[in-house]
Copies of this chain bind each other. A is one copy, B any other.
Amino acid sequence: MPANLQIILAQRPTPGPLTPQDFRSQETPIPVPGPGEFRVKVAYVSLDPAMRGWVSDAKSYVPPVPVGDVMRAYAVGIVDASEHVGFKVGDAVQGLFGVQSYAISNGRRVVKVDATAAPLERWVGGLGMPGWTAYFGLLDVGKPKAGETVVVSAASGAVGSVVGQIAKIRGARAVGIAGGPQKCRDLVQLFGFDSAIDYKKAGWVDDLKAACPQGIDVYFENVGGEMLDAVLPLMNIFGRIPVCGLIAGYNAREAMLGPKNFRAILTQRLRVQGLIVFDWNDRIPEASAALGAWHKEGRLKIREDVRTGGLPAFAETLNLLYSGGNNGKLVLKV
């Protein structure tokens, strides 16, 4: 009889990249749902940059994962046992099910997804939380106007690729920053960005300047550090900087230095604003509907990078995010 394979946070990670020793796997009996609960057979686990923060005990927007607990993760799967009136066996569902092969849920913050409209893994990617993040972060915080220039970092990632496409849908110019020629080609050819900048290339800051002849109105920040410093002097007056992620600092052993060009916030009257998608929980249906419609119309392309190493490969696969080793939304097949 199969067991429930779980990836457990084994110790509080020290600053720096996560190591295999930070996690251990364990097998437990497959759980049985109680009254008002259902069980999910997890199909795909979402690997997200935010995970580095979730295992750190630095002050953040959610409490850290306790040592000894199943690692926190968004995942998508199929209900295979239910004592819950709202969920029946066979339902495809997305939620915070953790890095494990079976999860018990009471339905809170679980979203039913349509596995016939898009592949299951897409519902933890561009049609799931990363898509919602792009939608609210760009439209509610960045507020791009038609004709403006929107720049996004980590542009080929799960959030960034959607940000650029929504910018285009709203009539703005989209410029993406990504690492390496392949990702940059994809940005233009697959996702329809107007221009792509390879930050691994010498002189990329000049390339960015050349790609933004009218300056930058919205910079959607996923990276931080030197990238923010390069962008700040190019920002137009009254520019907006939604801060969605600061992945450059997630593995840093020392606090990441803030931008040397911070003064541009004053002289250019910029608005720099942090965002966490949880703050729009009550508007998820709006984002889901919009993203789903754009996807169906072919205006929103989404790509996953599905890794098949299984749950034991969790830590090493996650680290791809911080080295830029993934191409598209990183998902672990269970």
Contacts and interface: CB of A to CB of B under 8 A. Distances in A.
B263 A246 contact: yes
Contact of A59 (B244, B257, B267, B276): B267
Nearest to A257: B257
A270 interface: yes
A266 B274 contact: yes
A233 interface: yes
A279 B268 CA distance: 11
B273 A270 contact: yes
Contacts of A299: none
A60 B269 CA distance: 10
A97 to B, nearest CB: 24
Nearest to A221: B266
Contacts of A243: 265-266
A143 interface: no
Contacts of A233: 59
B279 A266 contact: no
* Across the A-B interface, the 9 shortest Cβ-Cβ residue pairs: A258-B258, A258-B262, A258-B259, A266-B274, A272-B272, A255-B260, A269-B274, A265-B274, A271-B273
